[in-house]
Structure formats: structure tokens, C-alpha cells
């Protein structure tokens, strides 16, 4: 986005008025007018702004209505929100299923352990309590 010092904006169109502070931050026309009356610190870095050292810059590609760009970005943000919510829901379902499967594995392991213990006890009782098992 080229920045120049040439004014080719329509007369009286303050929507394109953009200013650059000495510290390198961009402010709008309203903010510039306000700091001429009541000096305020820069919103970007907190340094005091001297309105005499602020310069007007012109962003040729941004001047005019940017509502289409804004709407496009808003749609993209909404799409990202929906996608994020879907991912969260999927994560929740996967966590619940993992808990379910973990419980099933633990129950199965316990049943196997009990079956082994029962088998060992049965073998001991049939062999007369031999300690070879």
C-alpha cells in the first residue's frame, strides 16, 4: 500500500485524512484535530504527540469506501468462529469417547485379572495348593 505526500483525494472528503505521528503510528483526522486542542499520548506507544510534528499521509488504495473489504473480513471472521466452534464440539465428543473407551479397557483388564486369579486359585485347589504356580 503506497504512502505518498500528494493529495489527490476529493475536496472535503475527510474520510481519507490520515496522519502519521512522530513515533510512527497512524491516527485519524478526528484524533489529529483533538490533539491540536488537547495534547494526548499516542495510543500505540504512549509517547506524547506534538501536533506540529504530525504529517498527513495519503493511502491511495484505501481512500474511499472500504465497506466491501470490511464485509469480506467480517464474513471470514464469522466463518473462522463457526469452524472453531465445530472443532471445539468435535474435541468434546472425542474426549468423551476416549473416556468411554478407557473405561471399557480398564473394565476388561479387571475382568481378565479376575479370570486369571480365579484360574490360579482353581488350579491350586486341584493340585493341592502347590506353590509352583
The whole-number pLDDT of residue 2 equals 39
Q: pLDDT tens digits for 29-42?
A: 888 888 999 988 99
Distance of alpha carbon 3 from alpha carbon 49, whole angstroms: 21
Establish if 16 belongs to a structural domain: yes
Does a structural domain hold residue 49?
A: yes
In a domain, 7, yes or no: yes
- Decide if 63 contacts 18 (C-beta within 8 A): no
- The residue whose grid cell reads 495348593 is 129
Residue 20 lies in a domain: yes
Are 43 and 10 in a shared domain? yes
Q: In this structure, is residue 92 part of a structural domain?
A: yes
**Per-residue pLDDT reduced to its tens digit, 41-92:** 998 899 999 989 999 887 655 555 566 777 888 899 999 999 999 999 999 9
pLDDT of amino acid 127: 82
Q: What is the pTM of this model?
A: 0.40
State whether 55 and 79 are in the same domain. Answer: no
Mean of the per-residue pLDDT values of the chain: 83
Least confident of 52-56, 118-122, 125-129: 125-129
**Same domain assignment for residues 87 and 46:** no
The CATH number of the domain holding residue 32 is 3.30.40.10
3-state secondary structure 44-103: CCCCECCHHHCEEEEECCCCCCCHHHHHHHHHHHHHHHHHHHHHHHHHHHHHHHHHHHHH
Residue 125 resides in a domain: no
Q: Residue 117 falls within a domain, yes or no?
A: no
Domain that holds residue 29: 3-59
Tell whether 87 is covered by a domain: yes
How many structural domains comprise the chain? Answer: 2
Count CB neighbours of 75 within 10 A. Answer: 10
Q: What is the pLDDT of residue 73?
A: 86
Amino acid at each position: 500500500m503506497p504512502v505518498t505526500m500528494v493529495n489527490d483525494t476529493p475536496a472535503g472528503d475527510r474520510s481519507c485524512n490520515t496522519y502519521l505521528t512522530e513515533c510512527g503510528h497512524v491516527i485519524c483526522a478526528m484524533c489529529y484535530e483533538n490533539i491540536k486542542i488537547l495534547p494526548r499520548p499516542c495510543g500505540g506507544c504512549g509517547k506524547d504527540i506534538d501536533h506540529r510534528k504530525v504529517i498527513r499521509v495519503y493511502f491511495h488504495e484505501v481512500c474511499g469506501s472500504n465497506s466491501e473489504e470490511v464485509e469480506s473480513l467480517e464474513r471470514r471472521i464469522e466463518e473462522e468462529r463457526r469452524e472453531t466452534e465445530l472443532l471445539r464440539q468435535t474435541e468434546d465428543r472425542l474426549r468423551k469417547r476416549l473416556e468411554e473407551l478407557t473405561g471399557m479397557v480398564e473394565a476388561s483388564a479387571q475382568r481378565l485379572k479376575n479370570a486369571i486369579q480365579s484360574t490360579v486359585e482353581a488350579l491350586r485347589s486341584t493340585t493341592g495348593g502347590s506353590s509352583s504356580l
